[in-house]
Chains A and B, each alone.
Chain A
Amino acid sequence: MVQLPRARCIRCKGKDFDEYYPDVESGRLISFTILRALPGRLRGRGECAFGIVEFGGGVRGFGQLRGENLRVGMRVKPVIDVVADDDGKPVYGVVFVPREDPA
Protein backbone atom coordinates (compact mmCIF):
# COMPACT_ATOMS: atom_id res chain seq x y z
CA MET A 1 0.00 0.00 0.00
CA VAL A 2 1.25 3.49 -0.80
CA GLN A 3 0.91 6.07 1.94
CA LEU A 4 2.22 9.47 2.96
CA PRO A 5 5.30 9.58 5.17
CA ARG A 6 4.45 8.82 8.76
CA ALA A 7 6.22 7.30 11.72
CA ARG A 8 4.41 3.95 11.61
CA CYS A 9 2.27 2.28 8.98
CA ILE A 10 -1.48 2.75 9.51
CA ARG A 11 -2.07 -0.82 8.49
CA CYS A 12 0.68 -2.85 10.17
CA LYS A 13 2.40 -0.32 12.47
CA GLY A 14 5.70 -1.17 10.79
CA LYS A 15 8.48 1.39 10.52
CA ASP A 16 10.20 0.09 7.37
CA PHE A 17 9.03 2.01 4.36
CA ASP A 18 10.26 1.82 0.77
CA GLU A 19 10.22 5.06 -1.19
CA TYR A 20 7.72 5.29 -3.99
CA TYR A 21 7.47 7.94 -6.67
CA PRO A 22 4.34 7.93 -8.83
CA ASP A 23 4.55 8.33 -12.60
CA VAL A 24 4.09 12.08 -12.83
CA GLU A 25 2.93 11.77 -16.45
CA SER A 26 -0.10 9.79 -15.36
CA GLY A 27 -1.92 12.41 -13.28
CA ARG A 28 -5.63 13.09 -13.73
CA LEU A 29 -7.66 15.67 -11.86
CA ILE A 30 -10.34 13.94 -9.78
CA SER A 31 -11.69 17.04 -8.08
CA PHE A 32 -10.98 20.76 -7.90
CA THR A 33 -12.27 23.91 -6.27
CA ILE A 34 -11.67 27.60 -6.81
CA LEU A 35 -11.31 29.34 -3.47
CA ARG A 36 -12.36 32.99 -3.32
CA ALA A 37 -12.24 33.49 0.44
CA LEU A 38 -8.46 33.40 0.81
CA PRO A 39 -6.38 32.84 3.97
CA GLY A 40 -3.55 35.20 4.92
CA ARG A 41 -0.82 33.01 3.42
CA LEU A 42 -2.36 33.50 -0.06
CA ARG A 43 -2.49 37.29 0.25
CA GLY A 44 -2.34 39.25 -2.96
CA ARG A 45 -4.26 36.79 -5.13
CA GLY A 46 -7.89 37.15 -6.16
CA GLU A 47 -8.58 33.44 -6.00
CA CYS A 48 -6.74 30.15 -5.80
CA ALA A 49 -7.58 26.76 -7.30
CA PHE A 50 -6.81 23.49 -5.50
CA GLY A 51 -6.99 19.99 -6.88
CA ILE A 52 -6.87 16.35 -5.90
CA VAL A 53 -4.96 14.41 -8.55
CA GLU A 54 -4.82 10.66 -9.01
CA PHE A 55 -1.76 9.01 -10.52
CA GLY A 56 -1.31 5.49 -11.79
CA GLY A 57 -1.54 2.89 -9.03
CA GLY A 58 -4.23 4.90 -7.26
CA VAL A 59 -1.75 7.24 -5.60
CA ARG A 60 -3.19 10.70 -4.99
CA GLY A 61 -1.80 14.13 -4.37
CA PHE A 62 -3.21 17.48 -3.27
CA GLY A 63 -1.88 20.84 -4.39
CA GLN A 64 -2.65 24.15 -5.97
CA LEU A 65 -3.92 24.12 -9.52
CA ARG A 66 -3.30 26.42 -12.46
CA GLY A 67 -5.04 26.53 -15.79
CA GLU A 68 -8.11 27.57 -17.71
CA ASN A 69 -11.23 25.49 -18.25
CA LEU A 70 -10.60 23.20 -15.32
CA ARG A 71 -12.57 20.00 -15.51
CA VAL A 72 -12.61 16.69 -13.69
CA GLY A 73 -10.65 14.09 -15.65
CA MET A 74 -8.19 16.50 -17.26
CA ARG A 75 -4.54 15.49 -17.45
CA VAL A 76 -2.26 17.48 -15.18
CA LYS A 77 1.34 17.27 -14.10
CA PRO A 78 3.04 18.50 -10.93
CA VAL A 79 5.58 21.33 -10.93
CA ILE A 80 7.31 22.90 -7.94
CA ASP A 81 6.59 26.60 -7.50
CA VAL A 82 5.85 29.20 -4.85
CA VAL A 83 2.51 28.29 -3.25
CA ALA A 84 2.26 30.67 -0.31
CA ASP A 85 3.78 33.55 1.56
CA ASP A 86 4.85 32.98 5.17
CA ASP A 87 5.25 36.54 6.48
CA GLY A 88 7.33 37.53 3.47
CA LYS A 89 9.10 34.19 3.06
CA PRO A 90 8.11 32.26 -0.09
CA VAL A 91 6.89 28.70 0.51
CA TYR A 92 7.41 26.12 -2.24
CA GLY A 93 5.12 23.23 -3.00
CA VAL A 94 3.31 21.29 -5.70
CA VAL A 95 1.28 23.11 -8.33
CA PHE A 96 -0.59 21.01 -10.87
CA VAL A 97 -0.64 22.40 -14.40
CA PRO A 98 -2.45 21.15 -17.48
CA ARG A 99 -0.53 18.53 -19.41
CA GLU A 100 -0.89 18.36 -23.17
CA ASP A 101 -2.25 15.12 -24.55
CA PRO A 102 0.45 13.18 -26.43
CA ALA A 103 0.32 13.84 -30.17
Chain B
Amino acid sequence: MREVAVVGCGMTRFGRSERSLVDLLVEASLKAISDAGACERDFDAVYVGNMCSGEFNMVTGVAAALADRVGLIPSAADRVENGPASGGSAVKAGFLAVASGLYDMVLVAGGEKMTSTPTGRVADVIATLTHPEREYKYGATLPSFGGLLMRMYMEKYGVKRESISLVAVKNHKNGALNPYAHFQKEVTLEEVLRSPVIADPLRLYDTCPISDGAAAIVLCPADAAKEFTDTPVLVKGVGQATDVQSVAEREDPTVLNALRVAAEKAYAMAGVTPRDVDVAELHDAFTILEIVESEDAGLFEKGEGAKAVEEGETWIGGRIPVNPSGGLKARGHPLGATGVAQIVELTWQLRGEAGRRQIDGAETGLAVNFGGFGNSIVVHVLQRR
Protein backbone atom coordinates (compact mmCIF):
# COMPACT_ATOMS: atom_id res chain seq x y z
CA MET B 1 0.00 0.00 0.00
CA ARG B 2 1.18 3.53 -0.72
CA GLU B 3 1.52 6.13 2.01
CA VAL B 4 -1.33 8.65 1.93
CA ALA B 5 -1.18 12.36 2.79
CA VAL B 6 -3.78 14.96 3.67
CA VAL B 7 -2.75 17.96 1.55
CA GLY B 8 -5.79 20.20 1.95
CA CYS B 9 -8.62 20.66 4.42
CA GLY B 10 -11.51 22.98 5.21
CA MET B 11 -14.89 23.16 6.88
CA THR B 12 -17.97 25.33 7.26
CA ARG B 13 -18.94 26.81 10.60
CA PHE B 14 -21.14 24.22 12.33
CA GLY B 15 -24.49 25.37 13.72
CA ARG B 16 -27.87 26.38 12.32
CA SER B 17 -27.68 27.20 8.63
CA GLU B 18 -30.24 28.25 6.06
CA ARG B 19 -28.18 26.54 3.37
CA SER B 20 -28.86 23.19 1.77
CA LEU B 21 -26.85 20.02 2.38
CA VAL B 22 -25.22 20.21 -1.03
CA ASP B 23 -24.34 23.90 -0.57
CA LEU B 24 -22.66 23.11 2.74
CA LEU B 25 -20.69 20.27 1.12
CA VAL B 26 -19.69 22.61 -1.73
CA GLU B 27 -18.37 25.25 0.67
CA ALA B 28 -16.25 22.77 2.62
CA SER B 29 -14.99 21.11 -0.57
CA LEU B 30 -13.94 24.37 -2.22
CA LYS B 31 -12.09 25.38 0.94
CA ALA B 32 -10.21 22.06 1.03
CA ILE B 33 -9.36 22.15 -2.68
CA SER B 34 -8.17 25.73 -2.38
CA ASP B 35 -6.17 24.92 0.75
CA ALA B 36 -4.41 22.23 -1.29
CA GLY B 37 -3.74 24.66 -4.12
CA ALA B 38 -5.48 22.10 -6.35
CA CYS B 39 -8.09 24.35 -7.97
CA GLU B 40 -6.99 23.47 -11.51
CA ARG B 41 -6.62 19.73 -10.85
CA ASP B 42 -8.91 16.93 -11.91
CA PHE B 43 -9.85 14.51 -9.15
CA ASP B 44 -10.25 10.74 -9.50
CA ALA B 45 -12.91 10.31 -6.85
CA VAL B 46 -15.22 12.10 -4.45
CA TYR B 47 -16.43 10.34 -1.29
CA VAL B 48 -19.18 11.88 0.82
CA GLY B 49 -19.89 10.80 4.37
CA ASN B 50 -23.55 11.39 5.18
CA MET B 51 -26.07 9.47 7.28
CA CYS B 52 -29.56 10.82 6.55
CA SER B 53 -29.80 12.89 3.38
CA GLY B 54 -32.81 10.84 2.29
CA GLU B 55 -34.61 10.93 5.64
CA PHE B 56 -33.88 14.56 6.59
CA ASN B 57 -33.53 16.33 3.26
CA MET B 58 -35.27 14.24 0.58
CA VAL B 59 -31.95 14.21 -1.30
CA THR B 60 -30.10 11.14 -2.50
CA GLY B 61 -27.14 10.61 -4.84
CA VAL B 62 -25.41 13.36 -2.92
CA ALA B 63 -21.82 12.40 -3.82
CA ALA B 64 -22.50 12.58 -7.55
CA ALA B 65 -24.35 15.86 -6.98
CA LEU B 66 -21.27 17.27 -5.23
CA ALA B 67 -18.98 16.14 -8.07
CA ASP B 68 -21.27 18.02 -10.47
CA ARG B 69 -21.47 21.21 -8.40
CA VAL B 70 -17.74 21.63 -7.83
CA GLY B 71 -16.90 20.83 -11.44
CA LEU B 72 -15.21 17.52 -10.75
CA ILE B 73 -17.17 15.32 -13.18
CA PRO B 74 -16.30 12.76 -14.54
CA SER B 75 -14.66 11.71 -11.25
CA ALA B 76 -15.99 8.62 -9.47
CA ALA B 77 -18.38 9.43 -6.61
CA ASP B 78 -19.74 7.40 -3.69
CA ARG B 79 -21.75 8.25 -0.59
CA VAL B 80 -20.56 6.36 2.46
CA GLU B 81 -22.94 5.59 5.31
CA ASN B 82 -21.98 4.26 8.73
CA GLY B 83 -24.40 6.10 10.98
CA PRO B 84 -22.64 8.80 12.99
CA ALA B 85 -19.34 7.33 11.78
CA SER B 86 -20.17 8.04 8.13
CA GLY B 87 -17.45 10.71 8.03
CA GLY B 88 -14.77 8.41 9.41
CA SER B 89 -15.81 5.66 7.01
CA ALA B 90 -15.66 8.13 4.10
CA VAL B 91 -12.11 9.11 5.15
CA LYS B 92 -11.21 5.41 5.25
CA ALA B 93 -12.72 4.87 1.81
CA GLY B 94 -10.67 7.74 0.40
CA PHE B 95 -7.55 6.45 2.15
CA LEU B 96 -8.03 2.96 0.72
CA ALA B 97 -8.54 4.35 -2.78
CA VAL B 98 -5.21 6.21 -2.71
CA ALA B 99 -3.28 3.59 -0.71
CA SER B 100 -4.29 0.87 -3.16
CA GLY B 101 -2.93 2.83 -6.08
CA LEU B 102 -6.31 2.95 -7.80
CA TYR B 103 -6.74 6.74 -7.42
CA ASP B 104 -4.29 9.63 -7.01
CA MET B 105 -6.47 12.66 -6.25
CA VAL B 106 -9.35 12.12 -3.87
CA LEU B 107 -11.75 14.53 -2.21
CA VAL B 108 -13.46 13.33 0.97
CA ALA B 109 -16.31 15.47 2.27
CA GLY B 110 -18.71 14.86 5.13
CA GLY B 111 -21.89 16.78 5.77
CA GLU B 112 -25.32 16.77 7.35
CA LYS B 113 -28.27 19.15 7.28
CA MET B 114 -30.33 18.47 10.41
CA THR B 115 -31.99 21.66 11.63
CA SER B 116 -34.65 21.82 8.93
CA THR B 117 -36.18 18.62 10.35
CA PRO B 118 -38.19 18.74 13.62
CA THR B 119 -36.07 17.61 16.59
CA GLY B 120 -38.38 14.72 17.49
CA ARG B 121 -38.13 13.30 14.00
CA VAL B 122 -34.34 13.73 14.01
CA ALA B 123 -34.14 11.67 17.22
CA ASP B 124 -36.56 9.06 15.80
CA VAL B 125 -34.51 8.63 12.62
CA ILE B 126 -31.21 8.36 14.47
CA ALA B 127 -32.79 5.75 16.79
CA THR B 128 -33.24 3.46 13.77
CA LEU B 129 -29.62 2.38 14.18
CA THR B 130 -30.58 0.47 17.33
CA HIS B 131 -31.61 -3.21 17.30
CA PRO B 132 -35.02 -3.23 15.59
CA GLU B 133 -36.77 -5.88 17.70
CA ARG B 134 -34.86 -5.62 20.96
CA GLU B 135 -34.36 -1.86 21.25
CA TYR B 136 -36.03 0.37 18.62
CA LYS B 137 -39.42 -1.30 19.13
CA TYR B 138 -39.44 -0.09 22.72
CA GLY B 139 -38.94 3.57 21.88
CA ALA B 140 -35.25 3.49 22.85
CA THR B 141 -33.30 6.50 21.61
CA LEU B 142 -29.58 7.18 21.62
CA PRO B 143 -29.85 9.46 24.67
CA SER B 144 -31.63 6.62 26.52
CA PHE B 145 -28.55 4.46 25.92
CA GLY B 146 -26.35 7.38 26.94
CA GLY B 147 -28.26 7.50 30.24
CA LEU B 148 -28.06 3.73 30.72
CA LEU B 149 -24.32 3.72 30.02
CA MET B 150 -23.71 6.70 32.31
CA ARG B 151 -25.50 5.09 35.25
CA MET B 152 -23.89 1.70 34.67
CA TYR B 153 -20.43 3.32 34.49
CA MET B 154 -21.04 5.44 37.62
CA GLU B 155 -22.09 2.33 39.56
CA LYS B 156 -19.28 0.12 38.33
CA TYR B 157 -16.41 2.59 38.85
CA GLY B 158 -17.78 4.71 41.69
CA VAL B 159 -17.67 7.91 39.61
CA LYS B 160 -20.00 10.85 40.27
CA ARG B 161 -21.84 12.64 37.48
CA GLU B 162 -19.99 15.86 38.30
CA SER B 163 -16.78 14.23 37.10
CA ILE B 164 -18.36 13.08 33.85
CA SER B 165 -20.15 16.36 33.12
CA LEU B 166 -16.83 18.19 33.51
CA VAL B 167 -16.18 17.01 29.93
CA ALA B 168 -18.83 19.50 28.75
CA VAL B 169 -17.12 22.34 30.62
CA LYS B 170 -13.76 21.44 29.04
CA ASN B 171 -15.16 21.13 25.56
CA HIS B 172 -17.08 24.41 25.72
CA LYS B 173 -13.89 26.14 26.88
CA ASN B 174 -12.17 24.74 23.79
CA GLY B 175 -15.10 25.55 21.53
CA ALA B 176 -14.88 29.19 22.62
CA LEU B 177 -11.46 29.24 20.91
CA ASN B 178 -12.75 27.66 17.68
CA PRO B 179 -14.29 29.98 15.06
CA TYR B 180 -15.93 26.98 13.37
CA ALA B 181 -17.65 25.68 16.51
CA HIS B 182 -21.44 25.57 16.87
CA PHE B 183 -21.14 26.89 20.46
CA GLN B 184 -18.42 29.40 21.20
CA LYS B 185 -19.42 30.15 24.77
CA GLU B 186 -18.10 28.63 27.96
CA VAL B 187 -20.43 26.89 30.39
CA THR B 188 -20.04 26.26 34.12
CA LEU B 189 -20.31 22.85 35.75
CA GLU B 190 -23.33 24.15 37.65
CA GLU B 191 -25.11 24.98 34.39
CA VAL B 192 -24.43 21.48 33.05
CA LEU B 193 -25.60 19.73 36.22
CA ARG B 194 -28.78 21.82 36.40
CA SER B 195 -29.72 21.58 32.72
CA PRO B 196 -32.96 19.71 31.94
CA VAL B 197 -33.02 15.92 32.32
CA ILE B 198 -32.95 14.14 28.97
CA ALA B 199 -32.44 10.51 30.10
CA ASP B 200 -31.60 10.41 33.79
CA PRO B 201 -28.79 10.82 34.80
CA LEU B 202 -27.95 12.41 31.42
CA ARG B 203 -28.75 16.13 31.25
CA LEU B 204 -29.19 18.34 28.19
CA TYR B 205 -25.68 19.76 28.47
CA ASP B 206 -24.25 16.24 28.62
CA THR B 207 -25.48 15.80 25.04
CA CYS B 208 -24.19 17.26 21.79
CA PRO B 209 -26.39 19.61 19.75
CA ILE B 210 -28.13 18.96 16.45
CA SER B 211 -26.11 20.89 13.85
CA ASP B 212 -25.72 21.65 10.15
CA GLY B 213 -22.29 21.69 8.55
CA ALA B 214 -19.68 20.07 6.36
CA ALA B 215 -15.95 19.38 6.35
CA ALA B 216 -13.60 18.17 3.61
CA ILE B 217 -10.06 16.95 2.98
CA VAL B 218 -7.91 16.30 -0.10
CA LEU B 219 -5.89 13.07 -0.18
CA CYS B 220 -3.05 12.08 -2.49
CA PRO B 221 -0.05 9.72 -2.39
CA ALA B 222 2.54 10.97 0.11
CA ASP B 223 5.16 10.99 -2.66
CA ALA B 224 3.13 13.58 -4.58
CA ALA B 225 2.31 15.76 -1.58
CA LYS B 226 5.02 18.35 -2.09
CA GLU B 227 3.23 19.60 -5.19
CA PHE B 228 0.43 20.78 -2.87
CA THR B 229 1.87 21.57 0.53
CA ASP B 230 5.05 21.93 2.58
CA THR B 231 3.22 20.44 5.56
CA PRO B 232 1.63 17.14 4.52
CA VAL B 233 -0.04 15.15 7.26
CA LEU B 234 0.18 11.39 6.80
CA VAL B 235 -2.66 8.96 7.46
CA LYS B 236 -0.46 6.41 9.20
CA GLY B 237 -3.05 4.12 10.74
CA VAL B 238 -6.61 3.06 10.05
CA GLY B 239 -8.70 0.66 12.11
CA GLN B 240 -12.36 -0.27 12.05
CA ALA B 241 -14.45 -2.83 13.91
CA THR B 242 -17.95 -3.87 14.93
CA ASP B 243 -19.50 -5.20 18.13
CA VAL B 244 -22.76 -6.83 19.25
CA GLN B 245 -25.57 -4.49 18.21
CA SER B 246 -27.87 -4.90 21.20
CA VAL B 247 -26.32 -3.05 24.15
CA ALA B 248 -27.69 -5.43 26.79
CA GLU B 249 -26.19 -8.41 24.99
CA ARG B 250 -22.62 -7.06 25.11
CA GLU B 251 -20.25 -8.82 27.46
CA ASP B 252 -19.66 -5.56 29.36
CA PRO B 253 -21.74 -2.61 28.14
CA THR B 254 -19.26 -0.17 29.75
CA VAL B 255 -16.57 -1.44 27.36
CA LEU B 256 -16.52 -0.42 23.69
CA ASN B 257 -14.98 -3.59 22.33
CA ALA B 258 -15.24 -2.30 18.75
CA LEU B 259 -13.02 0.61 19.77
CA ARG B 260 -10.47 -1.65 21.45
CA VAL B 261 -10.18 -3.74 18.26
CA ALA B 262 -10.18 -0.76 15.88
CA ALA B 263 -7.64 1.23 17.93
CA GLU B 264 -5.30 -1.74 18.21
CA LYS B 265 -5.34 -2.15 14.43
CA ALA B 266 -4.77 1.56 13.81
CA TYR B 267 -1.92 1.82 16.32
CA ALA B 268 -0.25 -1.32 14.93
CA MET B 269 -0.48 -0.04 11.36
CA ALA B 270 1.00 3.31 12.41
CA GLY B 271 3.70 1.65 14.49
CA VAL B 272 2.72 3.65 17.59
CA THR B 273 1.29 3.01 21.04
CA PRO B 274 -1.35 5.06 22.89
CA ARG B 275 1.48 6.77 24.79
CA ASP B 276 2.64 8.33 21.52
CA VAL B 277 -0.63 10.18 21.00
CA ASP B 278 -0.19 13.95 21.47
CA VAL B 279 -3.75 15.04 20.69
CA ALA B 280 -7.05 13.19 20.28
CA GLU B 281 -10.42 13.99 18.73
CA LEU B 282 -12.95 11.64 20.34
CA HIS B 283 -16.67 11.22 19.74
CA ASP B 284 -18.38 12.92 22.69
CA ALA B 285 -22.01 12.68 21.51
CA PHE B 286 -22.57 12.31 25.30
CA THR B 287 -20.04 13.33 27.95
CA ILE B 288 -19.80 9.70 29.17
CA LEU B 289 -18.68 8.62 25.71
CA GLU B 290 -15.54 10.79 25.81
CA ILE B 291 -14.63 9.17 29.14
CA VAL B 292 -15.22 5.60 27.95
CA GLU B 293 -13.54 6.16 24.58
CA SER B 294 -10.44 7.67 26.20
CA GLU B 295 -10.11 4.40 28.15
CA ASP B 296 -10.91 1.92 25.38
CA ALA B 297 -8.54 3.76 23.00
CA GLY B 298 -5.84 3.00 25.57
CA LEU B 299 -5.19 6.56 26.74
CA PHE B 300 -6.20 5.78 30.33
CA GLU B 301 -6.90 2.70 32.46
CA LYS B 302 -10.48 1.50 32.56
CA GLY B 303 -12.38 3.48 35.19
CA GLU B 304 -9.77 6.29 35.28
CA GLY B 305 -11.00 8.41 32.38
CA ALA B 306 -13.02 10.83 34.50
CA LYS B 307 -10.16 11.29 36.99
CA ALA B 308 -7.99 12.31 34.01
CA VAL B 309 -10.44 15.10 33.14
CA GLU B 310 -10.62 16.23 36.78
CA GLU B 311 -6.83 16.35 37.01
CA GLY B 312 -6.54 18.48 33.87
CA GLU B 313 -4.81 15.87 31.75
CA THR B 314 -7.18 16.14 28.79
CA TRP B 315 -7.55 19.94 28.75
CA ILE B 316 -5.50 22.11 26.37
CA GLY B 317 -2.16 22.38 28.15
CA GLY B 318 -2.60 18.97 29.79
CA ARG B 319 -0.68 15.79 29.13
CA ILE B 320 -3.03 14.44 26.43
CA PRO B 321 -5.51 17.06 25.20
CA VAL B 322 -8.82 15.59 24.05
CA ASN B 323 -11.15 17.50 21.72
CA PRO B 324 -9.26 20.78 21.48
CA SER B 325 -11.79 21.64 18.74
CA GLY B 326 -14.59 21.59 21.32
CA GLY B 327 -15.61 18.04 20.34
CA LEU B 328 -19.11 17.12 19.32
CA LYS B 329 -20.42 18.94 22.38
CA ALA B 330 -19.25 22.43 21.40
CA ARG B 331 -18.00 22.14 17.80
CA GLY B 332 -21.35 20.51 17.00
CA HIS B 333 -22.37 17.22 15.39
CA PRO B 334 -23.70 17.33 11.84
CA LEU B 335 -23.70 13.52 11.71
CA GLY B 336 -21.79 12.77 8.50
CA ALA B 337 -19.49 15.76 8.91
CA THR B 338 -18.01 14.89 12.29
CA GLY B 339 -15.59 12.15 11.22
CA VAL B 340 -14.12 14.40 8.53
CA ALA B 341 -14.04 17.44 10.84
CA GLN B 342 -11.96 15.41 13.32
CA ILE B 343 -9.36 14.86 10.57
CA VAL B 344 -9.49 18.57 9.65
CA GLU B 345 -8.82 19.56 13.27
CA LEU B 346 -5.97 17.07 13.62
CA THR B 347 -4.47 18.29 10.34
CA TRP B 348 -4.52 21.88 11.59
CA GLN B 349 -3.03 20.78 14.92
CA LEU B 350 -0.23 18.77 13.31
CA ARG B 351 0.56 21.62 10.90
CA GLY B 352 0.70 24.16 13.73
CA GLU B 353 -2.29 26.04 12.29
CA ALA B 354 -4.78 25.64 15.13
CA GLY B 355 -4.49 29.21 16.40
CA ARG B 356 -5.51 29.67 20.02
CA ARG B 357 -6.36 25.95 20.34
CA GLN B 358 -2.86 24.88 19.26
CA ILE B 359 -1.30 21.94 21.08
CA ASP B 360 2.40 22.82 20.86
CA GLY B 361 4.61 20.27 19.18
CA ALA B 362 1.78 17.88 18.34
CA GLU B 363 3.14 15.14 16.09
CA THR B 364 0.73 12.23 16.44
CA GLY B 365 -3.04 12.61 16.40
CA LEU B 366 -5.86 10.13 17.08
CA ALA B 367 -9.43 10.34 15.75
CA VAL B 368 -12.27 8.12 17.00
CA ASN B 369 -15.60 8.19 15.15
CA PHE B 370 -18.43 6.23 16.81
CA GLY B 371 -21.18 4.64 14.72
CA GLY B 372 -24.27 2.76 15.87
CA PHE B 373 -24.33 2.97 19.64
CA GLY B 374 -20.65 2.01 19.71
CA ASN B 375 -21.06 -1.14 17.64
CA SER B 376 -19.27 0.31 14.61
CA ILE B 377 -16.14 2.38 15.21
CA VAL B 378 -13.55 3.91 12.88
CA VAL B 379 -10.13 5.03 14.16
CA HIS B 380 -7.46 7.03 12.35
CA VAL B 381 -3.91 7.85 13.43
CA LEU B 382 -2.30 10.85 11.73
CA GLN B 383 1.30 11.99 11.90
CA ARG B 384 3.24 14.99 10.73
CA ARG B 385 5.70 13.92 8.10
Contacts and interface: CB of A to CB of B under 8 A. Distances in A.
Indicate whether A and B interact: yes
Interface of A: 3-4, 10, 30-42, 48, 50-53, 60-64, 72, 83-84, 91, 93
Contact of B141 (A30, A37, A61, A91): A37
A50 B134 CA distance: 12
Interface centre among B137, B155, B202 (most CB of A within 10 A): B137
Contact of A37 (B140, B143, B151, B248): B143
B155 A64 contact: no
A10 B244 contact: yes
Nearest to B141: A39
Contacts, number: 95
A39 B131 CA distance: 15
B138 A62 contact: yes
A52 to B, nearest CB: 5
Contacts of B151: 31-33, 72
Given A52-B152, A64-B138, A39 B248 contact: no
B152 A42 contact: no
B139 A52 contact: no
Interface stretch (B21-29, B118-126, B322-330): B118-126
Interface in B78-137: 120-121, 123-124, 127, 131, 134-135, 137
Given A32-B148, A35-B141, 5 more contacts: A4-B134, A30-B152, A32-B151, A39-B141, A84-B137
Contact of B155 (A36, A60, A72, A93): A72
B248 A52 contact: yes
Contacts of B224: none
A35 B198 contact: yes
Given A36-B197, A63-B138, A83-B138, A31 B120 contact: no
Interface in B248-306: 248-249, 253
A33 B148 contact: yes
Contacts of A61: 248
7 contacts: A33-B150, A33-B201, A39-B124, A39-B139, A41-B124, A52-B248, A83-B137
Interface centre among B131, B196, B246 (most CB of A within 10 A): B246
Nearest to B140: A50
Interface string B139-160: 1110110011111100100000
A27 B52 CA distance: 38
Interface of B: 120-121, 123-124, 127, 131, 134-135, 137-141, 143-144, 147-152, 155, 196-202, 244, 246-249, 253
Contacts of B198: 35-37
A39 B142 CA distance: 11
A4 B121 CA distance: 29
Given A52-B253, A83-B139, A37 B244 contact: no
Contacts of A42: 139
Given A34-B199, A62-B248, A50 B121 contact: no
Interface centre among B143, B147, B150 (most CB of A within 10 A): B147
A78 to B, nearest CB: 12
Contacts of B143: 35, 37
Contacts of B246: 4, 62
A78 B151 CA distance: 21
Contact of B249 (A3, A64, A93): A3
